[in-house]
Amino acid sequence: MKARKTMVGLVAVMILGFAAANAHAGKGATCKSNNKGDVMHTGSDGSDCEADATGGGRSKAIAKGAGSAEAISETNGRANATATGEGTADATSDEHGKATAKASGQGTADAAAFGGGGKCTASATASSSGTAEAQCEAGGFARATATGEGTAQAFDDAPPFCSPGPPPGTATVQSSGGNC
C-alpha cells in the first residue's frame, strides 16, 4: 500500500511539473480556417492571429513572441502567414492564388495573390525591422525579401523596388515583373 501511495504522489508531481513548464513557456497563437469563416486567437505571449477562409479558401496564421499574423482567402485561394518576435505578417489570396507572408524581429511582410489573371504566387519575407511586400494579380509570381531596415516591393506585372536602407539592411526581389 505504501508503494502505491508513493507512485501516485510521483505521478502527480510529474504532471504538475509538466503543466508548470508549459505555462512558463508562453504559448503563441495558431489560427486555421478551411472554408470555415473567421477564426481569431490570442497567445499568452502577447501574440495574435486571424485566419478567414470562404468560398473554398484555406488560411493558416501562426504568431509567436508578440507577433501578429493574418491570413485571408476566398474562392479557392491559399493564404499562410507566420509572425514571430514582434513581427507582422499579412497574407491575402483568392481565385486559386497562393500568398505566403513571414515576418520576424519586428519585420513587416505583406503578400497578396489574386488569381483572376491566371496562376499567381506571392511571397514576402521580412526580418529585423525590414519591410517586404509582394503582389501578384495578372498571373505570375512575386517574391520579396527584406532585412535590417531594407524595403522590397515585388509585383508580377510591374517593375520592382529595392532599397536596402542603412547597413546591414538588404532588399531583394525576384518576380515575373523584374528582379532587383
Domain-embedded: residue 2: no
Any long-range contacts for 173-180 (C-beta under 8 Å, 24+ apart)? 173/142, 173/143, 173/144, 173/145, 174/141, 174/143, 175/134, 175/140, 175/141, 175/142, 175/143, 175/144, 176/140, 176/141, 176/142, 177/140, 177/142, 180/152
Tell me the average pLDDT across 166-179. 96
Give tens-digit pLDDT for 37-81: 999 999 999 999 999 999 999 999 999 999 999 999 999 999 999
Give tens-digit pLDDT for 121-163: 999 999 999 999 999 999 999 999 999 999 999 999 999 999 9
Q: Into how many domains does the chain fold? A: 1
Entry pTM:
0.85
Domain-embedded: residue 145: yes
Domain-embedded: residue 170: yes
Domain-embedded: residue 70: yes
Tell me the average pLDDT across 10-37. 60
According to the model, what pLDDT value does residue 118 have? Answer: 87
CATH number for position 70: 2.150.10
Domain-embedded: residue 73: yes
Give me the domain span that covers residue 34.
Answer: 27-175
According to the model, what pLDDT value does residue 12 have? Answer: 39
